[in-house]
């Protein structure tokens, strides 16, 4: 199920402003890759180019190549909708659909995409909620609104919603930044569990979190305000945090800037 992503010479723009430049990397399947770096360095922008979510912003465009195994995601014949179905995403702020119940939120991706039988749906909803470690907390109130849950529960609901469509890759954009430490721990446990089946990419501002959950870490930086962000280095997480190749990485990790 999990697949490898290969990025080559990727630039992303907002209108005429170049946000990231010349990024090339390989993201391994069945592992967690963390993106770290100071604010505004283009981590989130880069993450959104991986499932063609960048281009939904008016004026935004991408140059370069992103390959999922043998497919070019930006090929002219590729349907961006199918790309997003294959590469799921969890956002910074929990965003359950306010008009839908817990059950409907998890079922949304499947229901909005086509016909699934009710019994099949029941199975997938239960499985996804169990996968997101939320089942025991909500199994008695599946018909209640998703927006009535706590922040941490909402974020796990969003993860359940994302894995319900069975993606091959899961992108997470600072999934814990709006959560308390206990909910954060629950999500981190979940990430470690999910990596057995999915390729996971996580953007985080929390370096301890990157060190805890990820197998490989990529450090992004920008030369100056207004300049495009670049990939400084990418390596095994243990190496990045103990013996990085670049001075800038070391400075950032030890808290000398950013």
Partner 1 sequence: MTVQTGIQPISATRRAKDRLVQVLVYLAFALAVIPLVSVLWLVVKNGIGRFDMEFFTHSMRNIGARDAGGGAYHAIIGTLEQVLLASLIAVPIGLLTAVYLVEYGEGGRLSRTISFFVDVMTGVPSVVSGLFVLAFWILVLGMPFSGFAGALALSILMMPVVVRATEEMLRLVPRELREASYALGVPKWRTIVKVVLPTALPGIVTGVMLAVARVAGETAPLLLTVFVTDSINNDPFNGPQMGLPLYVFNQTILPTDVAVARAWTGALTLILIVMLLNLVARLITWWRSPARRR
Q: Which residues here bind partner 1, judged by CB under 8 A?
A: 51, 53, 56, 58, 81-86, 88-89, 91, 93, 95-101, 108-109, 112-113, 143-145, 147-148, 158, 161-162, 165
Least distance (Å) from partner 1 to the CB of residue 187?
A: 17
- Residue (of 43, 10, 44, 6) closest to 25 by Cα position: 6
Least distance (Å) from partner 1 to the CB of residue 104?
A: 8
- Kindly tell me which of 177 and 227 has the beta carbon lying closer to partner 1: 177
- Residue (of 201, 207, 118) closest to 162 by Cα position: 201
Least distance (Å) from partner 1 to the CB of residue 183?
A: 19
Least distance (Å) from partner 1 to the CB of residue 225?
A: 25
- Kindly tell me which of 54 and 195 has the beta carbon lying closer to partner 1: 54
Least distance (Å) from partner 1 to the CB of residue 83?
A: 8
- Kindly tell me which of 50 and 213 has the beta carbon lying closer to partner 1: 50
List Cβ neighbours of 170 (8 Å cut-off, separation of 6 or more): 87, 88, 89, 90, 159, 162, 163, 194, 198, 199, 200, 201
Distance separating alpha carbons of residues 147 and 167, to the nearest angstrom: 24
Residue 16 half-sphere exposure toward CB, CA atoms < 13 A: 0
Where helices occur in 33-176 by DSSP H, the ranges are 43-49, 80-86, 102-111, 118-131, 135-138, 151-164
- Kindly tell me which of 70 and 79 has the beta carbon lying closer to partner 1: 79
DSSP E strand stretches across the chain: 5-14, 17-27, 32-36, 60-68, 71-72, 87-90, 169-173, 199-203, 216-222, 229-236
Distance separating alpha carbons of residues 21 and 226, to the nearest angstrom: 12
Least distance (Å) from partner 1 to the CB of residue 26?
A: 23
- Kindly tell me which of 54 and 216 has the beta carbon lying closer to partner 1: 54
State the DSSP code for 73.
T
Joined tokens for residue 230:
């670049």
Distance separating alpha carbons of residues 168 and 11, to the nearest angstrom: 24
Joined tokens for residue 250:
């070391």
Least distance (Å) from partner 1 to the CB of residue 142?
A: 10
- Kindly tell me which of 88 and 228 has the beta carbon lying closer to partner 1: 88
- Kindly tell me which of 140 and 182 has the beta carbon lying closer to partner 1: 140
């Amino acid at each position: 199920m999990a697949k490898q992503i290969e990025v080559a010479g990727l630039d992303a723009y907002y209108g005429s402003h170049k946000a990231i430049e010349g990024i090339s990397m390989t993201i391994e399947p069945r592992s967690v890759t963390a993106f770290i770096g100071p604010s505004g360095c283009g981590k989130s922008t880069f993450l959104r180019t991986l499932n063609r979510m960048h281009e939904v912003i008016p004026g935004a465009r991408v140059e370069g190549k992103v390959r999922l195994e043998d497919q070019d995601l930006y090929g002219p014949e590729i349907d961006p909708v199918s790309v997003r179905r294959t590469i799921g995403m969890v956002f910074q702020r929990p965003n359950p659909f306010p008009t839908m119940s817990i059950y409907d939120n998890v079922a949304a991706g499947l229901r909005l995409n086509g016909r699934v039988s009710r019994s099949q749906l029941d199975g997938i909803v239960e499985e996804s909620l169990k996968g997101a470690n939320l089942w025991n907390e909500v199994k008695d109130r599946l018909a209640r609104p998703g927006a009535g849950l706590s922040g941490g529960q909402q974020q796990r609901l969003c993860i359940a919603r994302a894995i319900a469509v069975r993606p091959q890759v899961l992108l997470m954009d600072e999934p814990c930044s709006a959560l308390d430490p206990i909910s954060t721990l629950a999500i981190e446990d979940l990430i470690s569990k999910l990596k057995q089946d999915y390729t996971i990419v996580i953007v985080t501002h929390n370096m301890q979190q990157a060190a805890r959950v990820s197998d490989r870490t990529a450090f992004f930086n920008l030369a100056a305000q207004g300049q495009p962000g670049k990939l400084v280095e990418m390596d095994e997480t243990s190496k990045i945090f103990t013996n990085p190749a670049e001075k800038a990485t070391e400075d950032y990790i030890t808290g000398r800037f950013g």
